[in-house]
Chains A and B, each alone.
Chain A
Amino acid sequence: MLTVESLHKTFVTGEGKVGAVRGVSFEVGEGTFLTLLGPSGCGKTTTLRCVAGLEHPDSGKITIGKDVAYSGSEGVAVPAYRRGVGMVFQSYAIWPHMTVYDNVAFPLVHGGFKVPKSQVKEKVRKALSLVGLEKLENRPAPLLSGGQQQRVSLARALVYEPRLLLLDEPLSNLDAKLREEMRLELRELITRLKISTLYVTHDQEEALVLSDRIAVMSEGQILQEGQPRDIYLNPQHPFVASFIGAANFVDGKARGARDERGGVVVETALGQVVGSSSQDIKAGETVSVIFHPEDVLVRTDGDARGTNVFPGTVERLIFVGNRIQCRVRCGELQINSDVSSRVDVRQGTKVFIELPQENVRVLKLK
């Protein structure tokens, strides 16, 4: 549905040129939900605005459906009003001088999706009922709550049945509880409508819950693209690992050949760690060993024999209800671990931590 090929965009600011987007390529399949995930300033919103036609890229190619919307080499640049996409803005951009009805009817009356007058009312009603606002159509826009504005914005983007929906951090202005509600509602609505969607967010949980695919961005580039599960469990880049979850990082040096089970042996401050890797790692290379807190097993008995078992002392415990966040000091390192609330550990207890080899990722330091 949407193809973006080696997109580049540079901004000129007071401090000089800033490469906001540096060679971004991705594809959103028909009816697929793709999320651009990254910290603020990583170029995700700029990419989205380039797709909408609100920013003019320096080079690259954007294809929406079968139409080339932008191509630097062919000199094609379709203006925003002819791209036929729907967009929800971070600030919602509800026009304050109009009512809810006028806002939603705008694309059909004044925009590029004109329909006969008789159909306007029906289409607006239908769009408003999709988002559950059919009763508020005559309310002036400034009198809406944040969540209602969000829905109006969505209805306005959906009323002309666009082929592609663009969402720019639509949930970031809502409070935590409402955000979780809207997240599910949005996912359901989009699944029901089977509309291709490009979503931008800095919230990794939001991205994991909503998306079919996630592309993690940093400094204007896509570092890794894949299914949420894959991104979470098998990060290919230290940044992806750190951004997607509170992972443990231990730096070390790879020690020669893989062991009999295909694991990579790494010499770290913790000791000798064996992990798995999809990269081609050579002996002597500096690498990062990465594992999630929930994969760290904490034992109060036993000994330090066996692969990936290390002694330590419980330094801090935080009880969060369904689990305990436990920080274990192993020499100079601190390892974060999530353990079940039922495990009986106390501060200062000597423990052993065990890292299951298949859950430990070894990545080259870049």
Chain B
Amino acid sequence: MRARVADTVGTFFSGNMIAYVFAWFICGVIVAVTGLILWMTFVPGLPFDAGLSLSNYREVLGTSHLWRVVLNTFWVGSGTVFVSIFFGVPLGWLLNRTDLPLRSLFITMLAVTVIMPGLVKAMGWIMLLSPQVGIINKLLMELFRLKAAPFDINSIWGIAFIQGLMLTPSMFFLISGPMRSLDPSLEEAAEVVGANRWKTLFWITSPVLWPAILGGVIYIFMTGIAIFEVAGILGGLSENRVLATELFLAVQPFEGSLEIKYGVAGVYGFLIMLPSLVGLFFYFQSIKQAHRYAVITGKGYRPKTFALGRVQLPAMLFVFLFLLLAVFLPFLVLLWASLLPSLRMPSMEALSLVSLRWYEEIHYLVGGMEVIKNTLLLVVTSSVLVLFFSFMVSWVVVRTKLRTRRLLDTIAMLPHAIPGIGFAFALLIIGIMGARWTPWLPFYNTVWIIVVGNILTRMSYATRITNAALLQIQQELEDAALVCGARKWVAMLRVMGPLIRPSLVFAGLWTALLVFREVSVALLLGGPKNKVLATQLWILWRQGNLSEAAALSIVLILIMGLLILLLQKMTGSVGQVRVTPQIGEEKL
């Protein structure tokens, strides 16, 4: 008890209390919203009638329709995992452990594929592979005199294909860490006992990487089944129903049925999160045993690179194939479409119709000043607040010896395991309740509800960056300022600030980028008054204005490209480890 009192006194003393309060505030919100998500599924008369029952489950589980939806969702998830492994694992190995030329450029390009969101990618691929208008389909039909289109992107496999391309970079970066830190002596030992390079790769390298790949599979699966927008434009709202689109339809009446069923949507949400909860369980297990996996690497540690030899050319082609499918093809077709009054096959006649008409009307396409204002407000406030709260959490986790710091770190990771659509749904319920009981508070149907949704979902990633940033800076650098007679805030401003600025700028801009391109949360929480650019793009497409939507998506890609350039200019590297100048580190 004495020690506890002393701890508390010490907290005040060192001025960490502010960080502590804010860190627990944001983590409290995360826990509360997560708890709400689970609780909601048992309440039939959401959002106003309390009382627990299983009637929602009965309603949803009783239908044969549900089993088709669940099965569809399962195939979408599995297909997504398959595609992302098919590309991600070989890419992870080729770009991290071999002598493939231009590796660092390719890694940067993989990180930059983020500027092409799933929604845009899906739009591009519809223009290429839809049975009615798809350019590739038409080309093949002409070439081989086919009666029917050979590919149909409006299918479960189409959804999986696009989501797989979309999540391949995630898979790549998830396994890159383990690939790089793999102890080369394990491989050398196999070589010494006479295994050749390919045998070593097969028997030693791959098995050691299994846990990392498995972790990636769980993450991709749960992300894949929670993405709404791709399924949403690929027939998910009509024939190819999946859980995410069902949830959307249950609460967004202007798209689907007229009746809003929050409780039912809650059950769908719960089903989407089921694999995430399983993943979460494994995550907590692994945290308990984290010390066992601690990798200690000495100075000058370099993983062995594998000489590709004659396989080098096919390997290069493989990397290009991925970039072609994931970025270049959809981008080119969107660019083509945006220059034409309506989508056509490339021909001389079509070329004569090329004009910048849609770009001249861009102010109309974006939906007016209101949308631009909302988007700016969303992007700026979300990234600033995410940065602020992440910094506070990391400060407590890294810089204090408080007992609850591990718990805080774990809670900050919770959103990583729960799909954004789940948070969005819980916020929607909170918003509706708030509109009833505290109507004076601007939340429901404003841009602020989307801001909160984005803050919650982005906390996990941002805290990883701020944790790493603070860990890089020795405590003694700050202590030295205090001993010199500088107050805490002077030390923060003059010493800590300049040293962690590169990392903070990176975290802030990267968050801004991801918030800017985010569609699922914005759509679920969207109404007539809080449209942002991403939802505007969705609306244009749903209204059937393909060329207009293409023009707007090109504009969005350009804006994100500019953000990436800014990021590159201010922090020096995208998709790479950032190093702040540090001296005297050799004693570690």
Give the distance in Å from the alpha carbon of A54 to the alpha carbon of B401 in the complex. Answer: 13
CA distance A296 to B383 in the complex (A): 73
Q: A93-B477, A173-B584 are in contact. Are A84 and B13 (CB under 8 A)?
A: no
Interface check A97, CB cutoff 8 A: yes
Residues B474 and A160 in contact, CB atoms below 8 Å apart: no
Residue of B nearest to A17 (CB): B3
Q: Chain A nearest CB: distance from B502 CB in Å?
A: 11
Flag B1-45 by CB within 8 Å of A: 1 or 0 each.
Answer: 011001101100110000000000000000000000000000000
Q: Is A271 among interface residues, defined by CB-CB distance under 8 A?
A: no
CA–CA, A146 and B585, complex, Å: 11
| A243 at interface, CB cutoff 8 A | no
Q: Are B486 and A93 in contact (CB under 8 A)?
A: no
A58 and B2 form a contact (CB under 8 A): yes
Contact of B10 among A56, A82, A149 (CB under 8 A): A56
Q: Say if the beta carbon of B360 comes within 8 Å of chain A.
A: no
Contact across chains for A93 and B10 when beta carbons are under 8 A apart: no
| With known contacts A56-B9, A56-B14, A110-B490, A80–B584 Cβ distance under 8 A | no
Interchain CB contact under 8 A, B403 and A112: no
**In the complex, chain B residues whose CB is within 8 Å of the CB of A113:** 484-485
Produce 1/0 per residue, A146-183, CB < 8 A to B: 10010001001100100000100000110000000000
Residue tally, chain A, CB below 8 Å to B:
47
User: Which one of B9, B488, B583, B586 lies within 8 Å of A94 (CB-CB)?
Assistant: B583
With contact pairs A12-B7, A80-B483, A84-B485 given, residues A149 and B583 touching in the complex (Cβ less than 8 Å): yes
Closest residue of chain A to B491, judged by CB? A81
The 0/1 profile, CB within 8 Å of A marked 1, for residues 454-485 of chain B is: 00000000000000000000101101111111
**B494: CB under 8 A from chain A?**
yes
**Shortest distance from the beta carbon of B403 to any chain A beta carbon, whole Å:** 6
Among B13, B401, B490, B499, point to the contact of A96 (Cβ < 8 A): B499
Q: Is A91 an interface residue (CB 8 A)?
A: yes
Asked whether B581 lies within 8 Å of A96 as measured between CB atoms, the reply is yes
Would you call A107 and B3 a contact (CB within 8 A)?
no
The answer to whether A97 touches B498 (Cβ under 8 A) is yes
Residues of A within 8 Å of B585, CB to CB, are 91
Expressed in whole angstroms, the Cα–Cα distance for A80 and B10 within the complex equals 13
0/1 string, A44-62, CB within 8 A of B gives 1: 0000010011101010000
Please, how many angstroms separate the alpha-carbon atoms of A153 and B583 in the complex? 12
Once the chains are docked, how many angstroms separate the CA of A315 from the CA of B571? 64
Q: Is residue A87 contacting chain B, with contact meaning CB distance below 8 A?
A: yes
Write out the residue numbers on chain A whose beta carbons fall within 8 Å of the beta carbon of B479. 49, 52, 54, 80, 87, 89, 93
Among A10, A86, A91, contact of B584 (Cβ-Cβ < 8 Å): A91
Contact of A111 among B6, B477, B484, B587 (CB under 8 A): B484
Interface residues on B, range: 35 or more
Shortest Cβ gap from A309 to chain B (Å): 48
Min C-beta distance of A52 to chain B, whole Å: 5
| Residue numbers in A under 8 Å from B403 (CB-CB) | 12
In Å, the complex CA distance between A94 and B7 comes to: 30
Contact of B2 with A80 in the complex, beta carbons under 8 Å: no
Taken together as a complex, chains A and B put the C-alpha atoms of A84 and B584 apart, in Å, by 25
Expressed in whole angstroms, the minimum distance between the Cβ of B226 and any Cβ of chain A is: 34
> Given A92-B584, A142-B581, does the pair A81, B10 have CB atoms closer than 8 Å?
no
B499 touches A97 (CB 8 A): yes
* Contact indicator per residue, chain B 408-440, by CB within 8 Å of chain A (1) or not (0): 000000000000000000000000000000000
Residue of B nearest to A8 (CB): B6
Cβ of A130 within 8 Å of any chain B Cβ, yes or no, is: no
Q: Is B582 on the interface with A (CB-CB < 8 A)?
A: yes
Minimum C-beta distance from B7 to chain A (A): 7
By beta carbon, the residue of chain A nearest B482 is A80
B476–A91 CB distance below 8 A: yes
- B407 interfacial contact with A, CB 8 Å: no
Complex Cα distance A81/B14, Å? 11
Is B476 touching A93 in the complex (CB atoms < 8 A)?
A: yes
**B586: nearest chain-A partner, CB-CB:** A173
Q: Which residues of B are found within 8 Å of A144, using beta-carbon distances?
A: 583
Query: Would you call A241 an interface residue if the criterion is a C-beta within 8 Å of the partner chain's C-beta atoms?
Result: no
Name the residue of chain B whose CB is nearest to the CB of A156.
Answer: B484
Residues of A near B586 (CB, < 8 A) are 173
Are B13 and A77 in touch, CB under 8 angstroms?
Answer: yes
Shortest beta-carbon distance from B419 to chain A in Å: 32
Contact indicator B584/A149 (Cβ below 8 Å)? yes
* A54: contacting residue among B3, B483, B581, B584, CB under 8 A: B483
Q: Does A90 contact B (CB under 8 A)?
A: yes
Complex Cα–Cα for A17 and B1 (A) = 12
Give the residue name and chain of the B residue nearest to A55 (CB): B10
Smallest beta-carbon distance B335→chain A, Å? 43
Contact A112 B583 (CB under 8 A): no
Using Cβ atoms and an 8 Å threshold, which residues of chain A touch B587?
Answer: 90-91, 172-173
Q: A11 contacts the other chain (Cβ, under 8 Å)?
A: yes
A141 and B580 alpha carbons, distance in the complex (Å): 13
- Interface flags, B559-588, vs A, CB<8A=1, else 0: 000000000000000000000111111110
Which residues 85-116 of A have a CB within 8 angstroms of B? 85-87, 89-97, 106-107, 110-113
Q: Cα distance A83–B483 when bound, in Å? A: 8
Query: Does B542 have its Cβ within 8 Å of any Cβ on chain A?
Result: no
Q: Which residue of B lies closest to A143 (CB)?
A: B583
A56-B13 in contact (CB<8A) = yes
Q: A90-B476, A173-B587 are in contact. Are A81 and B401 (CB under 8 A)?
A: no
B480, A89: Cβ atoms under 8 Å?
A: yes
User: Is A65 engaged at the interface, CB distance under 8 Å to the other chain?
Assistant: no
Per a CB cutoff under 8 Å, which of B2, B476, B477, B494 touches A110?
Answer: B494
Across the interface, which residues of B come within 8 angstroms of A10, CB to CB? 3, 6
In the complex, per-residue mask of B484-508: 1 if CB is within 8 Å of any chain A CB, else 0: 1111101000110011000000000
Q: How far is the CA of A12 from the CA of B7 in the complex (A)?
A: 9
Q: Of B474, B486, B487, which one neighbours A91 at CB under 8 angstroms?
A: B474
State whether the Cβ of A79 lies closer than 8 Å to any Cβ in chain B.
yes
Contact yes or no, B487 A81, CB < 8 A: yes
Known: A12-B401, A96-B499. A110 touches B483 (CB 8 A): no
Bound CA span A79–B14, Å: 8
When distances are taken between beta carbons in the complex, the residues of chain A under 8 Å from B484 are: 81, 106-107, 110-113, 156, 160
How near does chain A come to B142, taking the closest CB pair, in angstroms?
Answer: 63
User: What residues on A are CB-neighbors of B9 within 8 Å?
Assistant: 56, 77
Cα-based distance from A56 to B481 in the complex (angstroms):
17
8 Å CB contact of B486 from A83, A94, A110, A141: A110
Of chain A, the residue at the smallest CB distance from B15 is A79
Query: In the complex, what distance in Å separates the CA atom of A113 from the CA atom of B488?
Result: 15
Q: Which of A187-219 contact B (CB under 8 A)?
A: none
Contacts of B584 in A (CB 8 A): 91-94, 146, 149, 173
* Bound form: Cα–Cα A20–B43 in Å: 53
**A–B Cβ pairs within 8 angstroms, 16 of them:** A52-B479, A56-B10, A91-B474, A93-B474, A93-B584, A94-B583, A95-B477, A106-B484, A110-B481, A110-B484, A112-B484, A149-B583, A149-B584, A156-B484, A157-B483, A173-B586
**Among all A-B residue pairs, the 8 with the closest Cβ atoms:** A112-B485, A111-B485, A107-B484, A93-B480, A56-B10, A93-B476, A111-B484, A91-B584
Given A17-B3, A95-B481, A149-B583: 15 more A-B contacts, CB < 8 Å: A11-B401, A12-B3, A12-B403, A58-B6, A77-B13, A81-B483, A81-B485, A87-B480, A89-B476, A90-B587, A92-B583, A93-B476, A93-B584, A106-B494, A110-B490
